[in-house]
Structure 1
Amino acid sequence: MNVWRRLSGQRRALALAGAGVLVAGGLVTIPVTAAQAATQCDVAYSTNDWPGGFTANITIKNLGDPINGWTLGWTFPNSSQRVQQGWSAEISQTGSQVTARNLSYNGSLATGASTSFGFNGAWSGSNPKPASFTLNGVACTGGTTTPPPTDPPPTDPPPTDPPPAGSKVNNPYAGVRGYVNPEWKAKADAEPGGSRVSNNPTAVWLDRIAAINGTTGSSSNGAFGVRDHLDEALRQGAGYIQFVIYNLPGRDCAALASNGELGPNELPRYKSEYIDPIAAIQSDSKYRNLRIINIIEIDSLPNLVTNTSGQPGGTAMCDTVKANGAYVNGVGYALAKLGAIGNVYNYIDAAHHGWIGWDSNFGPTADMLKSAAVASGSTVANVHGFIVNTANYSALREPYVRITDSVNGQSVRQSKWIDWNFYVDELSFAQAFRQKLVSVGFDSNIGMLIDTSRNGWGGSARPTGPGATTNVDTYVNGGRIDRRIHAGNWCNQSGAGLGERPTAAPEAGIDAYVWVKPPGESDGSSELIENDEGKGFDRMCDPTYTGNARNGNSLSGALPNAPISGAWFSAQFQELMRNAYPAL
């Protein structure tokens, strides 16, 4: 349904309301009459309804002179209708009277410009739509511009009613095509042989506020903003699109390569200038038939378990964001705002087996994820699942090393590589961690994602059988698929290859194998590079670095001559293709 479709007159509006057309997933657009021609604005009000509650999305279009600051008012027809939680506006209610005021970032509307906000509400008996609106105290009646055609434009999805809130599909990846980011595709296509993989869906990283509207920097986000990507997804006929929500205050507290723009005490700015605008765009009813998948804050919550005081390599920044609640409350707020949208699916990052596979980290990390899921007004219902191995290299399967193996009576867990971990690969870890997450209170239908963009480890060096049984180290090192120097190494790893191509429902409990980290985008610079994105230099990206306590004082295994995180790294892309498994 085109959000700007107008009704021909008040009588038709009332007739449709009486027929129930505007009750579930309905749309009100105030009609135009000659007497109202001086008013130069238009309001579209649509809802997703369920028994006792609803989500409302409201779009204001300015058809008159530019305005700087707006206040929208309306009266609920039913005295039981109540606003509960809103976003992208300051909303207050007295009796049946509702007032919504702009926030700092969306108050200016040029002629022809639009802005959207929304809220969750409650009702009893019925949930009729407001009959009229005022903008800055003046009746908003649609102006005198020529109404657009009643048929939706060709780029709109089929005009079917959206599903009621709470009726999301179990697996958003199943049965539909994924969105191919044209900006990433263009870079891949420019590489020799890159067209062999460039049609795979990859995620769009929103790693700073400017990425919401599009940037011109050297990192992964380019000229396309969130709305541009969503519009392109509609044009492609894609069924799902993936965004990485990645801009917490004090981001990447245990490393430097992906430090962000927000300081550890800037949670209010994270909410109002980052999450709220993203939610406003994603909630536009134009995209209601597109499954929008948000990957929530990479490497954040596990850092609060493993990289605070008392842990090897603990940092002051991790202590700060744990103490002030920036991560827990930031993630909770993102889940609540984005999860309220009927076609949005949130997956929280849950690290990888080489990080939290030990008992000392496994349970506490599950508890930390639960604490964030119920923070800042969120509930576990806003979490559709979790993702492991994001932007990492851990092998999907280790066919020649099992955690139950022993050599000469000694468990492989005692090898230097495994180091008493309970898992050797991501698939076994993801399936086990899913069960742990259910046990701490998450829904039994949650699904897991595994990022397979760089964990193939193919090529001529790939083992073809178990290692020598001289001792546990020769056995493990000779047979393991993952050829990193240490499982804690994470930056631009030498010898890595493309992994399994994006696939829906490949294993029990796994919603999809995904390419969330777009192959060819750097993890971090191999030396200090000045930039305007707040990204620092981490020695783990320096191939000459001999390590720290977190990687057993081992060499970093990083490729040389790498650009800043998110920037295109041609040498890495070529190596990933050479070592792909399954092979290209």
Structure 2
Amino acid sequence: MRQSIRAIVGPRRAAPLWLALAGLLGSGCATAANQSGGFYVDPDSNPAIWVRDHGGDARAAKVRASIASKPMARWFGNWSGPIGGAVSRFVEAARSADKLPILVAYNVPGRDCGGHSGGGAGSPEAYRTWISSFASGIGNARAVVVIEPDALAQLDCLASDQRAVRTGLLQYAAREFKLRAPNASVYHDGGNASWVPAEEMARRLNAAGASEIRGFALNVSNYHTTADSNRYGAAVSAALKNQFGYAKPFVVDTSRNGNGSNGEWCNPAGRKLGVVSQKPSSGAEMLLWVKVPGDSDGNCGIAPNTPAGTFSPDIATRLIDGR
């Protein structure tokens, strides 16, 4: 591709960080600018696991300080086991820590058009069951969810009848999250700034039920600058307004966009970590580490023997150093 707070008797305490941040989404409150403390740091991310297992490696301290200790998304797919329980455990761990979790649903049939991250549910029926269980696993908790990276941008690789099937599945997912996870901020994936024209992406988002959810996500697992992504996101939102009568906010993946894009997407050299997950003062309503920095895009580029989704300390340190 291109993965219960108990009531405390005594003095009233401040609102939990994850709840405060979640409540600010869409409010435009300036005090939320540069807020990163409210997002959940996954203790079992691929970088964190690698650091625990390789404490004697000279790179471990650098990876721990610059990547493993930062908030990022957990990706869920056909590797996650029973999905409802997997999602529920992750969300509950974040809630117990007073943090806001970031989740990615990545299991649509025909995922990645059979490319490096190919796979997905075996049938539309299996996917509908899977995504319903995913949403139910969140329940009434606060969470940020990105639905199926690349699924809309890659419609062109499908036959016309399969495009309709995929769009229907994404529309179903939007309705299920609205019904079963009403407090989650949910985003369809909208590709990136150089992929699909804004007017066409707006049509695809609308057909996939974007009106039912919070908004759309940009630059997932890619490298475009935040400025370029903000311009594209504003154009997509304006196109939604012009064509369908509503605008939507967007979020941007900044995990690897510190040096921008060189036109390559599969483990290119010379890329760099971007700003950590936060609520900025303008443009995107959230900047998020959606792609896990250090996880390979596939057997390509600077990691020709590292399958997609596998952590590489070499990729990680290159991102830290910008080389």
TM over 0.5: yes
Between the aligned partners of 1:328 and 1:261, the Cα distance in structure 2 is: 15
Shift of 1:430: 1.9
Between the aligned partners of 2:317 and 2:245, the Cα distance in structure 1 is: 40
Deviations 1:329-375 (A, max 9, x none): 1111111011123211211110111112xxxx3312211110111xx
* Higher strand content, 1 or 2: 1
- Whether 1:259 aligns to 2:148 is no
Picking from 222, 246, 250, the partner of 2:110 is 250
Query: Within 5 Å, which residues of 2 pair with 1:25-36?
Result: none
Query: Within 5 Å, which residues of 2 pair with 1:562-581?
Result: 562-579=305-322
Does the 8 Å contact 1:206/1:212 carry over to 2? Answer: no
Which residue is 2:125 aligned to? 268
User: 5+ unaligned residues in a row in structure 1: which ranges?
Assistant: 1-154, 160-167, 215-223, 308-314, 374-378, 398-424, 458-480, 527-540, 542-557
Letter in 2 for 1:156: I
Could you say if the C-alpha distance between residues 268 and 436 of structure 1 is closer, same or farther in structure 2, counting changes exceeding 3 Å?
same
Letter in 1 for 2:128: K
Does the 8 Å contact 2:192/2:219 carry over to 1? Answer: yes
Which residue is 1:205 aligned to? 75
Could you say if the C-alpha distance between residues 209 and 565 of structure 1 is closer, same or farther in structure 2, counting changes exceeding 3 Å?
closer
Query: Within 5 Å, which residues of 2 pair with 1:452-491?
Result: 452-457=254-259, 482=261, 484=262, 487=263, 489-491=264-266
Which residue is 1:186 aligned to? 48
Moved more, 388-397 or 510-519: 388-397
Does the 8 Å contact 2:83/2:134 carry over to 1? Answer: no
Between the aligned partners of 2:204 and 2:231, the Cα distance in structure 1 is: 21
Shift of 1:442: 6.0
Matched residue SS, 1:504: coil
Matched residue SS, 1:456: coil
Between the aligned partners of 2:6 and 2:267, the Cα distance in structure 1 is: 39
Picking from 447, 451, 454, the partner of 2:249 is 447
Could you say if the C-alpha distance between residues 442 and 500 of structure 1 is closer, same or farther in structure 2, counting changes exceeding 3 Å?
farther
Between the aligned partners of 1:269 and 1:352, the Cα distance in structure 2 is: 28
Could you say if the C-alpha distance between residues 207 and 452 of structure 1 is closer, same or farther in structure 2, counting changes exceeding 3 Å?
same
Picking from 126, 143, 146, the partner of 1:292 is 143
Letter in 2 for 1:502: S
Shift of 1:205: 0.6
Does the 8 Å contact 1:293/1:345 carry over to 2? Answer: yes
Does the 8 Å contact 1:171/1:447 carry over to 2? Answer: no
Picking from 221, 226, 237, the partner of 1:391 is 221
Shift of 1:435: 1.8
Shift of 1:235: 2.3
Between the aligned partners of 1:390 and 1:188, the Cα distance in structure 2 is: 23
Picking from 421, 433, 437, the partner of 2:236 is 433
Between the aligned partners of 2:159 and 2:44, the Cα distance in structure 1 is: 34
Letter in 2 for 1:204: R
Matched residue SS, 2:195: helix
Which residue is 2:25 aligned to? 171
Shift of 1:206: 0.9
Letter in 2 for 1:342: P
Matched residue SS, 1:243: strand
Which residue is 2:174 aligned to? 335
Query: Relative contact order: is structure 1 or structure 2 higher (C-alpha 8 Å, sep ≥ 6)?
Result: 2
Larger Rg: 1
- Whether 1:156 aligns to 2:5 is yes
Query: Within 5 Å, which residues of 2 pair with 1:536-547?
Result: 541=300
Deviations 1:103-161 (A, max 9, x none): xxxxxxxxxxxxxxxxxxxxxxxxxxxxxxxxxxxxxxxxxxxxxxxxxxxx43549xx
Letter in 1 for 2:98: G
Matched residue SS, 1:327: helix
Matched residue SS, 1:250: coil
Does the 8 Å contact 1:393/1:490 carry over to 2? Answer: yes
Does the 8 Å contact 2:198/2:232 carry over to 1? Answer: no
Does the 8 Å contact 2:296/2:303 carry over to 1? Answer: no
Which residue is 2:19 aligned to? none
Q: Give the TM-score normalised by the residue count of structure 1.
A: 0.46
* Higher helix content, 1 or 2: 2
Aligned length: 290
Which residue is 1:196 aligned to? 65
Does the 8 Å contact 1:370/1:440 carry over to 2? Answer: no
User: 5+ unaligned residues in a row in structure 2: which ranges?
Assistant: 9-21, 53-59
Could you say if the C-alpha distance between residues 516 and 226 of structure 1 is closer, same or farther in structure 2, counting changes exceeding 3 Å?
same
Between the aligned partners of 1:364 and 1:428, the Cα distance in structure 2 is: 16
Letter in 2 for 1:336: R
Between the aligned partners of 1:201 and 1:507, the Cα distance in structure 2 is: 21
Matched residue SS, 2:200: helix
Picking from 499, 521, 542, the partner of 2:274 is 499
Shift of 1:296: 0.9
Query: Within 5 Å, which residues of 2 pair with 1:1-150?
Result: none
Which residue is 1:301 aligned to? 152
Matched residue SS, 1:567: coil
Between the aligned partners of 1:448 and 1:349, the Cα distance in structure 2 is: 9
Between the aligned partners of 2:288 and 2:245, the Cα distance in structure 1 is: 22
Q: Give the TM-score normalised by the residue count of structure 2.
A: 0.81
- Whether 1:367 aligns to 2:203 is yes
Between the aligned partners of 2:71 and 2:192, the Cα distance in structure 1 is: 22
Letter in 2 for 1:291: R
Between the aligned partners of 1:201 and 1:511, the Cα distance in structure 2 is: 16
Does the 8 Å contact 1:211/1:226 carry over to 2? Answer: no
Does the 8 Å contact 2:254/2:273 carry over to 1? Answer: yes
Between the aligned partners of 1:188 and 1:396, the Cα distance in structure 2 is: 29
Letter in 1 for 2:176: K
Between the aligned partners of 1:432 and 1:187, the Cα distance in structure 2 is: 39
Between the aligned partners of 1:432 and 1:365, the Cα distance in structure 2 is: 10
Between the aligned partners of 1:320 and 1:559, the Cα distance in structure 2 is: 37
Between the aligned partners of 1:390 and 1:337, the Cα distance in structure 2 is: 22
Letter in 2 for 1:494: A
- What is the RMSD computed on CA atoms of the aligned residues? 2.6
Could you say if the C-alpha distance between residues 295 and 318 of structure 1 is closer, same or farther in structure 2, counting changes exceeding 3 Å?
farther
Shift of 1:258: 1.0
Matched residue SS, 2:208: helix
